[in-house]
Amino acid sequence: MLWTIGIVIATALQAYLLGSIDTGILVSRLVYHDDVRNHGSGAAGMTNMLRTFGKKAAAMTALGDVLKGVAAVCIGRWLFSLLPSAEISPYLGVYLAGILAVVGHLKPLYFGFKGGKGVLVGTGALLAVQPVLVPFLLLTFLVCVLPTGMVSLGSVVGAGLYPVMTLIYGLMQGLAVRDLVVTTVGAAIIGGMIIYMHRSNLQRIREGKEYRFGKKHQKKD
């Protein structure tokens, strides 16, 4: 029992600490000698980096955020492989790691608990757990973003569909009930956190004030 508790704590802790390494803040401070959180939406994610510092900054941020999601899940998978009990779902460790990596990104320990919105970290976690779903969610994202210019809309719709697609894919795979519950609930938690972090964007969308890429004369956040 103590070994199991230790593995769970270690998995959660490493994922949160990895998630707290905020790529956007580091890039903005080290490369541009500024803090991206002082601009635009105030978030430390790829979208605000693109709006504030340009494509190179956004690319570095995206790569770092995705990789830390992948790393957290891979470490979590390895840690849970050390458990002797076969009764524990093999997906429990990876989703615990994915959830805590997103939490770390949203509330980074090293940067005053003010980070990004979790989309790319969640994508990295998904790449490490169920990469087959990524193309479908990416297509959904593009269908929303290309005609509207609103990255937030694509992010919210993708986050909402994530647990639905996870459930459908699990049923198609014939997963055991325990695994189906863990994957679906885990995906719902990650998706729910991402949607919650976009609540101000949703308000601006309703008011017709949300930033649209490629559109001129937009109001600032």
pLDDT one-digit tens code per residue, 83-136? 886 668 889 999 999 999 999 999 999 999 988 899 999 999 999 999 999 999
Q: Which phi-psi region, left, alpha or beta, contains residue 202 (left: φ > 0; alpha: ψ -120 to 50)? A: alpha
Q: What is the CA radius of gyration of the chain?
A: 18
DSSP assignment, residue 88?
S
Q: How confident is the model at residue 41 (pLDDT cuts 50, 70, 90)?
A: confident
Mean pLDDT over residues 39-55, rounded?
Answer: 88
**pLDDT reported for residue 2:** 87
**pLDDT reported for residue 216:** 56
CA dihedral sign, ordered 65, 66, 68, 72: positive
Q: Per the structure block, which two tokens stand in for 125?
A: 């976690």
pLDDT one-digit tens code per residue, 54-84? 999 999 999 999 999 999 999 999 999 998 8
CA dihedral sign, ordered 170, 172, 175, 181: positive
**pLDDT reported for residue 88:** 82
Mean pLDDT over residues 143-154, rounded?
Answer: 95
* Alpha helices (runs of H) in the chain, residue ranges in sequence order: 2-19, 23-30, 46-53, 55-80, 90-106, 119-129, 134-148, 151-173, 177-197, 199-207
**pLDDT reported for residue 221:** 37
In the numeric block, the tokens 């693109």 are attached to: 50
- Asked if residues 160 and 198 have their Cβ atoms less than 8 Å apart, the reply is no
In the numeric block, the tokens 């297509």 are attached to: 139
* pTM confidence score: 0.91
Mean pLDDT over residues 21-34, rounded?
Answer: 94
d(CA 215, CA 125): 32
Among 47-51, 87-91, 173-177, the least confident range:
87-91
Residue 217: CB atoms within 10 A of its CB come to 4
* Alpha helices (runs of H) in 31-89, residue ranges in sequence order: 46-53, 55-80
**pLDDT reported for residue 217:** 45
**pLDDT reported for residue 43:** 84
DSSP assignment, residue 218?
P
**pLDDT reported for residue 215:** 66
